């Protein structure tokens, strides 16, 4: 039985990426506003488009900033991975939003700075979303991916999501209660390792 929490807990974990890099993972806080805007600016045009589905330029809108930073452990959370040794620590961030009409479901989104793709950061973020969503009583995480975004589609599929095409976009779903159905891929093994490591910290 998982305890449902109603206030954002003060969580912060010190972890190590597979290449040995120490990282800090934590939810975003209102004081991260400038950092978030700068991370948005640093992402490539293509990554921004893949994450936000719009060609917005380098400046994130105030409304989007407010939405991403408005944390509520039952409705929406955003976590970031940071490398404190860098001049600009954020490496990636990911969020889930609960569907008000179908509260057992939440939509996820993730973005990792381009030069840090393939280091396992997205998969670590997915584990954090998985556990924090599960803690909120969500059963299904859903990722929407543009058909041409092969990288994200491969990542979600390799991480065990069931994919379908609705004629317009790709829809990937994870059943958060079925960790035993993860496929035999390197990223799914990494995802499982993070879930095992972090669940005693997050699912109290
Ligand atoms: C999708 C994204 C979040 C993945 O983050 P990441 O940190 O690179 O992911 P990981 O390193 O944990 O996992 C990499 C896995 O992705 C897949 N992948 C990565 N690059 C790939 C490529 N060029 N071609 C095919 N598969 C690729 C593989 O499954 C790979 O696993 P492997 O390294 O064992 O082969 C990142 O690519 C990104 O920020 N993309 C732009 C925004 C976006 O598309 N978001 C998703 C929609 S919301």
Residue 125 belongs to domain spanning: 13-202
Q: Which residue do the tokens 């998969």 mark?
A: 123
6 in a domain, yes or no? Answer: no
Residues with CB under 6 A from ligand 1: 47, 50-51, 109-112, 117-123, 143, 145, 149-152, 154-155, 158, 186-187
Q: Is residue 5 situated within a structural domain?
A: no
148: in domain = yes
Place of tokens 């990554």: 47
Atom 29 in ligand 1: which residue has the minimum CA distance?
155
pLDDT at residue number 77:
96
| CA–centroid distance, residue 133 to ligand 1 (Å) | 21
CATH code for position 45: 3.40.630.30
3-state class of 76 per DSSP? strand
Mutate to test the pocket of ligand 1, among 40, 107, 115, 117 (most ligand atoms within 8 A of CB): 117
CA distance 97 to 163: 19
Residue 201: per-residue pLDDT = 94
Assigned domain for 162 exists: yes
Residue nearest atom 44 of ligand 1, based on CA coordinates: 50
Q: What is the mean pLDDT of the chain?
A: 94
- The residue ranges of the chain whose pLDDT is under 50 are none
Q: Flag whether 36 is in a domain.
A: yes
Which residue of 155, 169, 186, 191 sits with most ligand 1 atoms within 8 Å of its CB, as the best mutation to test the pocket?
155
What pairing do the DSSP bridges indicate for beta strands 90-98 and 76-82?
Answer: antiparallel
> What pTM, to 2 d.p., does this model score?
0.95
- Whether 72 and 104 have beta carbons less than 8 Å apart is answered as no
Does residue 90 fall inside a structural domain? yes
Per-residue confidence (pLDDT) for residue 1, from 0 to 100: 67
In a domain, 4, yes or no: no
Relative to the CA of 158, which ligand 1 atom is closest? Answer: 29
pLDDT tens digits, residue range 89-125? Answer: 999 999 999 999 999 999 999 999 999 999 999 999 9
Neighbours of 115 (CB within 10 A): 10
Distance, CA of 58 to CA of 45 (rounded, Å):
8
* Backbone CA torsion sign across 47, 77, 64, 167: positive
Q: Examine residue 1 and state whether it is found in any structural domain, yes or no.
A: no
Q: Which residue from 42, 122, 123 has its CB within 8 A of the most atoms of ligand 1, so it is best to mutate?
A: 122
Q: What's residue 39's pLDDT? A: 93
Q: How many domains does the chain have?
A: 1
């Amino acid at each position: 039985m998982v305890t449902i929490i109603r206030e954002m807990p003060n969580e912060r974990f010190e972890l190590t990426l597979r290449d040995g890099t120490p990282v800090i993972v934590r939810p975003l806080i209102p004081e991260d506003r400038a950092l978030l805007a700068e991370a948005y600016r640093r992402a490539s045009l293509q990554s921004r488009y893949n994450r936000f589905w719009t060609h917005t330029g380098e400046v994130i809108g105030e409304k989007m900033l407010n939405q991403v930073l408005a944390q509520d452990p039952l409705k929406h959370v955003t976590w970031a991975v940071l490398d404190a040794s860098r001049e600009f620590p954020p490496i990636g961030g990911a969020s889930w939003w609960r569907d008000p009409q179908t509260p057992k479901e939440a939509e996820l989104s993730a973005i990792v700075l381009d030069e840090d793709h393939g280091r396992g950061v997205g998969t670590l973020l997915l584990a954090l979303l998985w556990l924090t969503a599960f803690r909120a009583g969500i059963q299904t995480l859903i990722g929407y991916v543009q058909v041409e975004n092969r990288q994200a589609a491969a990542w979600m599929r390799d991480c065990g999501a069931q994919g379908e095409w609705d004629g317009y976009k790709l829809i990937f779903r994870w059943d958060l209660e079925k960790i035993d159905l993860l496929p035999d891929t390197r990223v799914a093994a990494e995802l499982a390792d993070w879930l095992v490591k972090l669940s005693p910290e997050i699912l109290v």
